[in-house]
Amino acid sequence: MQFGIFTVGDVTTNPTTGRTVSEHERIANTVEMAKLADEVGLDVFATGQHHNPPFVAPANPAVLMANLAVVTKNIILSTSTTLITTTDPVRIAEDYAYAQHLAGGRVDLMLGRGNTGPVYPWFGKDIRDGIPLAIENYALLRRLWNEENVTWEGKFRTPLQGFTSTPRPLDDIAPFVWHGSIRSPEIAEQAAYYGDGFFHNHIFWPPQHAAQMVQFYRERFEHYGHGRAQDAIVGLGGQVFMAESKAKAMETFRPYFDHAPVYGGAGSLEDYTRQTPLTVGTPDEVVEATLGFRDYVGDYQRQLFLIDHAGLPHAEVMHQIELLGTKVVPQLRAEMDVRRAAGVPDAPTHASLLAARAAQTTDTPSADAGQMGRVEAGVPRAPKTDDVTGTRAEDR
């Protein structure tokens, strides 16, 4: 199982000091976070994509990923998210393939529609087309990564005639894709149709909502012939803050929670820690709470934590990464391995997809057909027609 951190790059005033870091400082701190996450043995560092203040998450995450490829050794560089609705699929295909080469394959990406409404008109799009944009743009992105001389015509961009995206993906294996969503079953359906990963952000909503979204994705994954429902590739978000005691953690984190742009005024810290996956306490309490996620989503493959939100000082953020790497993740790895059902696959990586392709025979379906469908030459293996809606996901 993969464990890591994700950032949305918010520039938020520290409510205890009144100080706001500069954009340059926040960007430099983000690089330091990724380096430390790599050093303490975390598996994934993911960055958001934003085009507006108060965020300095990159407008093009591939730029940051290319930098991090130089200063890290083992960690997977991902996104949280790449805006599939307002970013041209041609740019996504080219930029992330380039970053994939620079990182030696340590790149995947999470696609999402974004939660900042004004971004749509900034790029000539209409937020009411969010779902259709996500479906059409991803269908094109897959073709660009898996085919050369692409001729294509759709609704939302100019046609392509014999176009080849460059560079080609490393080893002709595209970065693995997660589809991220908090509330849209259409995105879970899209992930299931292609046999891709589904990432549920799992921060603001109660556990039963996450359980419903993940279960829907699993059922559709199996329906489309990618494997058993329990073989579906699931990721979860989460937010934690740790200290030597729960009382100390609550006392320290409270002013940040109370003044956070996304939390402030919406309820008490006690309410949120009781009703959502937000965990504030000791490392052992974080382990216990995170292990509980499996009770309602089943075995899953990726757990990412948000730890740098709401104006927390950089020194505290780095301390949280240290605690994750030394106190939390080792326990979670051991416990998750013991509890994991037989046959549940790992999250695909460039190395595992390369090995799977090498082991695949030309005509005989692999025993790992669910993952093999992701590396064949272009489209998923003969998906069924959707017997619920009467259409295929990308035709809806």
Range of the domain at 47: 2-395
- Given this model, what pLDDT does residue 373 score? 39
Number of independent structural domains in the chain: 1
Q: What is the 3-state secondary structure (H, E, C) of 270-296?
A: HHHHHHCCCEEECHHHHHHHHHHHHHH
What is the reported pLDDT for 115?
A: 64
For the CA atoms of 64, 65, 68, 73, what is the dihedral angle to 10 degrees? 170
pTM of the model: 0.90
Question: Side chain identity at 201, as an amino acid letter?
Answer: N
Cβ neighbours for 191, distance < 8 A, ≥ 6 positions apart: 178, 179, 197, 198, 217, 221
CB-based contact 85:111 (threshold 8 Å)? no
> In this structure, what CATH number is given to the domain that contains residue 348?
3.20.20.30
Name the stretches of the chain with pLDDT < 70.
Answer: 115-116, 264-265, 361-396
What does the mean pLDDT of the chain come to?
Answer: 89
